[in-house]
């Protein structure tokens, strides 16, 4: 894969490292960047190939993503603004729908749309100096790339209201205390730790991982009983697989399982 605004690497088996690659503008998203992210994740939704986990970060040390590129938006007509926002809508929906686990490695500022990008991932690791904010209301708009929904699900409705309605930045430590960030690390360890976790996920049975992710995400919006029924349906998807047989055989033979996603 080759993109104008993203760098793609394969640092570990079955692991894809994606970096927003506009460090000269704090990795702010312009229309091309939104299109690239959208295209990448729509492609992974269609056919992930041998990718079993994705790590998303920002190039450079300054920022994960500063949000939408406001210089590009200067002077935009209402029609052009709406057309651009459709890209961001498709982008975040493609990320949220991705069956492959996605880890955000937030290396710096994650503001506005950048914070929404991180929230669209399955979980977040952050550098100690990382900062988060949803600043849209200070600009005459509001979060529109999933932030009102994903943040409330991460930190609760009342905390989400405080964060979004004030537009005030908060630290990685605060984000962790509120349940939004899973782990806070020194900047020098961030990517290595995210990749190590991605590698652990990638070693597990791919169908199992995808079905478990699906059950958690969909079940969170169902009643307990509906969620349990969907979990059962997801579970039975594994019964006829080669990986299920390999996993039990490997356990009994006291060796590492060789999962093939079949």
Give the per-residue pLDDT at 259.
92
Instruction: Name the catalytic one among 28, 66, 68, 104.
Output: 68
Give the per-residue pLDDT at 72.
86
Q: Does the structure show a pLDDT above 80 at 1?
A: no
Give the per-residue pLDDT at 163.
97
CATH assignment of 204-252, given 3.40.50.11750, 3.90.180.10, 1.10.12.10, 2.40.50.100? 1.10.12.10
If one compares 52 and 221, the residue with the highest pLDDT of the two is 52
The answer to whether residue 205 is catalytic is: no
Residue 142: CB atoms within 10 Å: 13
The answer to whether residue 116 is catalytic is: yes
Instruction: Name the catalytic one among 113, 146, 147, 247.
Output: 113
Topology of 6-202 in CATH? 2-enoyl-CoA Hydratase; Chain A, domain 1 (3.90.226)
Q: Does the structure show a pLDDT above 90 at 48?
A: no
Instruction: Name the catalytic one among 26, 58, 118, 136.
Output: 136
HEC-encoded secondary structure of 26-54: CCCECHHHHHHHHHHHHHHHHCCCCCCEE
What pLDDT, in 10s, does the model give residues 123-133?
999 999 999 99
Q: H helices of the chain, where?
A: 31-46, 70-73, 78-97, 113-119, 147-155, 157-166, 172-177, 187-203, 206-219, 224-236, 242-252
The answer to whether residue 136 is catalytic is: yes
61 confidence band (pLDDT: 50, 70, 90):
confident
What pLDDT, in 10s, does the model give residues 131-168?
999 999 999 999 999 999 999 999 999 999 999 999 99
Nearest Cα to Cα of residue 54 among 21, 90, 86, 11: 11
User: Domain limits of the chain?
Assistant: 6-202, 204-252
**Same fold yes or no, 6-202 and 204-252:** no
The answer to whether residue 229 is catalytic is: no
């Amino acid at each position: 894969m080759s993109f104008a605004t993203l760098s793609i690497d394969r640092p570990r088996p079955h692991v894809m490292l994606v970096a927003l690659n506009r460090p000269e503008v704090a990795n702010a998203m312009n229309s091309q960047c939104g299109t690239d992210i959208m295209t990448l994740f729509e492609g992974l939704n269609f056919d992930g190939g041998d990718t079993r986990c994705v790590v998303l970060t920002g190039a450079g040390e300054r920022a994960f993503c500063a949000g939408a590129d406001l210089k590009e938006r200067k002077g935009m007509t209402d029609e052009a603004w709406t057309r651009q926002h459709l890209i961001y809508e498709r982008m975040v929906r493609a990320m949220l729908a991705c069956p492959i686990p996605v880890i955000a490695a937030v290396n710096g500022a994650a503001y506005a749309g950048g914070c929404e990008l991180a929230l669209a991932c399955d979980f977040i690791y952050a550098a100690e100096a990382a900062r988060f904010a949803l600043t849209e209301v200070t600009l005459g708009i509001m979060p529109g790339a999933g932030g009102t929904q994903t943040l409330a699900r991460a930190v609760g409705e009342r905390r989400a209201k405080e964060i979004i309605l004030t537009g005030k930045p908060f630290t990685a430590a605060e984000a962790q205390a509120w349940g939004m960030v899973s782990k806070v690390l020194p900047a020098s360890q961030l990517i290595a730790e995210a990749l190590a976790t991605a590698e652990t996920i990638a070693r597990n049975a791919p169908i199992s991982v995808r079905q478990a992710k699906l059950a958690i995400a969909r079940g969170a919006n169902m009643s307990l009983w509906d969620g349990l029924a969907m979990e059962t349906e997801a579970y039975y998807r594994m019964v006829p697989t080669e990986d299920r047989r390999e996993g039990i055989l490997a356990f009994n033979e006291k060796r590492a399982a060789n999962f093939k996603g079949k």
